[in-house]
Amino acid sequence: MDLRPARGTLDLLPPQGSRMRALYDRASALARLHGYRYVETPGFEITELFSATSGETSDVVTKEMYTFDDRKGRSLTLRPEGTAPVMRAYLGAMQEQPSPFKAYYLTRMYRYSRPQEGRYREHRQFGIEVFGAEAPGADAEVIAMGDAFLRGLGLTRIELQLNSIGDEVCRPAYRDELVAFLRANRDRLSDEHRDRFVDNPLRVLDCKDDACRAVAAEAPRITDRLCDPCRAHLEGVQSGLKDAGLSWTLEPTLVRGLDYYTRTAFEFVSPGLSPQQATLFGGGRYDGLAEVLGGPHVPGVGFGMGLERVLLALEQEGIDAPEEPGLAVFVVGVGEAGHARAHDLVRELRAVGVAADAAFEDRPLKAQLKMADRAGATYAAIVGERELEASTVTLRRLSDGDQHEVAADGVASAVAAVGSAPGGAPAGETG
C-alpha cells in the first residue's frame, strides 16, 4: 500500500498539525472578538449550488469541482468554497437569525487543480461572511479583520489590493466596452481567452498569463465607469480602511475568480510567494447572491483565507508559526512505586488544568526522558526513590536541563509560575 496521502492533499502531523490548530484557535478568537459566530455546512452540496453561483465559466466550475453522482443519481460536489453554502443555510433559517448575520468558518475546501506549493486539491480556509449589511463599514471591518489576523502573526510583507467591479447598473455598459476592446486586441490574448473572452470578459483581467496581463493593463478601467452609488460605496470602504489605519493600492484589474461578486473586490497578497499562489486571502461583496438562490435581497461581504498559504508566508518571512500549547509536564516514575506515584501525579495535574502525561509502562529513566522530549513537554517531573521518600519531585526543564526539587504538591504551581507551553501560553491554558 502506498502510504502517501492522495495527490494534492496534506497530512498534518506534529508539529504542522499543531501549527494549523493554532491558526484555527487564533482565527476563532479574532472572529469572536468581532461578534462573528461559528458555522458549519456539509462537506458536499448539490452541484447546482456552486455552478449557479460561482459562474458557469469560472475555473472552479469548469475545471476544479470534485463532482460525483450518488447512488440515486443526484449530482453532488465536494465544497470548493464556503460563501454559497453559508448563504444557502442562512436563507433556509433566516427568521431565527440576527441581522446582520456575522458568521465564520474554519473548514476544508476541495478543488481539482495541478498541485504545487500553495495550491492543493484539499485546502483549509478561515472564512468570514456578513449577511444583511449594505454599508461600506461592513466591507472595511471584514478587510481589517483579515489584515489584523495576518499582522497578529507577525507578517509584514503583505499588500492589500482593492477594487470595485460595479453592480448590475454600471457593469453591463463596462462589460460591452471591455468586449469591444478585447475584440480589437484578440490576437494578443492567451489561447485560453482568445475565443472565450465574450463569455466572461472580466475574467481576462484576472488572467495571470503575461500576454493577457499586458492587454489588461491597457484595458478600460471599471473604476472610471462606476455609477454614483458604487463610487460612493468604494469611497466609503476606503474611508473605513483609512480609519482602521490600513494602506492599500487600487487595482483596477482585480476582478476575482468567482461570479457572485459585486462592488468591492479585494485580495491580500504576499509578494514573496510566487504570483500564482501569492493571494493569502480574497473576498468581496456579493449583493446579488441570495437572489440567485431564490432568496430575498440580502447584501453580503466576506473573505476566504488559505491557511496553508499563511503558513508558507510565515516561513517565507522567517517567522516561527505559533503552535498550540504543548504538554507542560511529562511525569517520569522510576521503579514500581515511582510509576504508580507518577500516575497519581498526572491525575492531580490534569485535574487543575496542567497538561500532563506519563508512560503507560514502567520503563528505564533514560527511555522515559526521551519520551518526554519526543512528546514536546516543557518539563520532566521525576519521581524516583529519593523523591518518594522526601515527598518531592525533581522538576527538569527539558530545553536546558536546568532542574530543582519541589514539594510533590507544588508541581502545578511551580510549572504555572514559569509558564510552560511553547508559544508563551501559561501552563493551564491547554484547551
The nearer residue to ligand HAM, 249 or 399, going by C-beta atoms, is 249
- Please report how close the Cβ of residue 363 comes to ligand HAM at its closest, in angstroms: 42
Name the nearest CA neighbour of 280 among 309, 320, 322, 312. Answer: 309
The answer to whether the peptide bond before residue 15 is cis (omega within 30 degrees of 0) is yes
The nearer residue to ligand HAM, 12 or 398, going by C-beta atoms, is 12
Residue nearest to ligand HAM (CB): 306
- Please report how close the Cβ of residue 304 comes to ligand HAM at its closest, in angstroms: 3
Evaluate whether 232 touches 162 at the Cβ level (below 8 Å): no
Query: How far apart, in whole angstroms, are the C-alpha atoms of residue 280 and residue 118?
Result: 9
Cα–Cα separations (whole angstroms), residue 354 to 149, 321, 334, 348, 402: 28, 23, 21, 9, 20
Cβ atoms within 10 Å, residue 394: 17
Q: How many residues does the chain have?
A: 431
What is 376-429 written as a DSSP string? T-SEEEEE-HHHHHHTEEEEEETTT--EEEEEGGGHHHHHHHH--STTS--TT-
**Three cell numbers written together for 228:** 454614483
Pick out residues in 298-357 that bind ligand HAM (CB under 6 A): 302-306, 308-309
- Please report how close the Cβ of residue 128 comes to ligand HAM at its closest, in angstroms: 7
- Please report how close the Cβ of residue 360 comes to ligand HAM at its closest, in angstroms: 39
The nearer residue to ligand HAM, 36 or 330, going by C-beta atoms, is 36
The nearer residue to ligand HAM, 47 or 394, going by C-beta atoms, is 47
Site string for ligand HAM, 263-302 (x = CB under 6 A): ----------------xxxxxx-----------------x
Site string for ligand HAM, 62-91 (x = CB under 6 A): -------------------xxx--------
Please tell me whether residue 428 binds ligand HAM under the rule CB under 6 A.
no
Query: How far apart, in whole angstroms, are the C-alpha atoms of residue 410 and residue 394?
Result: 11
Please tell me whether residue 164 binds ligand HAM under the rule CB under 6 A.
no
Query: How far apart, in whole angstroms, are the C-alpha atoms of residue 153 and residue 270?
Result: 14
Please tell me whether residue 120 binds ligand HAM under the rule CB under 6 A.
yes
Please tell me whether residue 127 binds ligand HAM under the rule CB under 6 A.
yes
- Please report how close the Cβ of residue 30 comes to ligand HAM at its closest, in angstroms: 16
- Please report how close the Cβ of residue 115 comes to ligand HAM at its closest, in angstroms: 8
Please tell me whether residue 102 binds ligand HAM under the rule CB under 6 A.
no
Beta bridge partners of 126: 106, 305
User: What is the C-alpha R_g of the chain?
Assistant: 27
- Please report how close the Cβ of residue 201 comes to ligand HAM at its closest, in angstroms: 19
Q: Summarize as ranges the residues that interact with ligand HAM (CB under 6 A).
A: 81-83, 111, 113, 118-120, 123, 125, 127, 129, 257-258, 279-284, 302-306, 308-309
